[in-house]
Amino acid sequence: ELIQLHPSVRQFRVDAAQAHWRCGDPARARQLAESVLNRANFPLPATPNDFYCDGFANWFLGRQANADYDFERSGFPAGQHYRFLIE
C-alpha cells in the first residue's frame, strides 16, 4: 500500500522487496528491485539513500558488482551492507 500511496519513494519499494524476500517470495522481491532500477520510475541516484536503494535492488538481482559500487557511493557504514540484511 505504501508503494501505491508514494510511488516516487525508492525506499518503500526496497523495503517491500526485503519483506517479500524474507517471506519466501524472491520472484516478487526481484520484480520490485527491477522497478527501482527502471529509469522510467526513478532517475539516476543522486543522494546517499538513492545509491543505497539502487544497490539493494542490484543485490536482489544478483548484480553484486553493481551493488557494491552503489553501496560504496552511498557512504553507509559497512555493517549496513546488503549481505548482512538478506542472507
pLDDT tens-digit map of 2-31: 888 898 899 999 999 999 999 999 999 999
At 87 the pLDDT is 66
Whether 63 contacts 35, CB under 8 Å: no
Three-state DSSP at 52 gives helix
Distance CA 77, CA 69 (A): 14
Q: Can you tell me which residue has the cell 542490484?
A: 58
Quick one: pLDDT band at residue 80, thresholds 50, 70, 90?
very high
Quick one: pLDDT band at residue 48, thresholds 50, 70, 90?
very high
Quick one: pLDDT band at residue 51, thresholds 50, 70, 90?
very high
Letter for the amino acid at 44? L
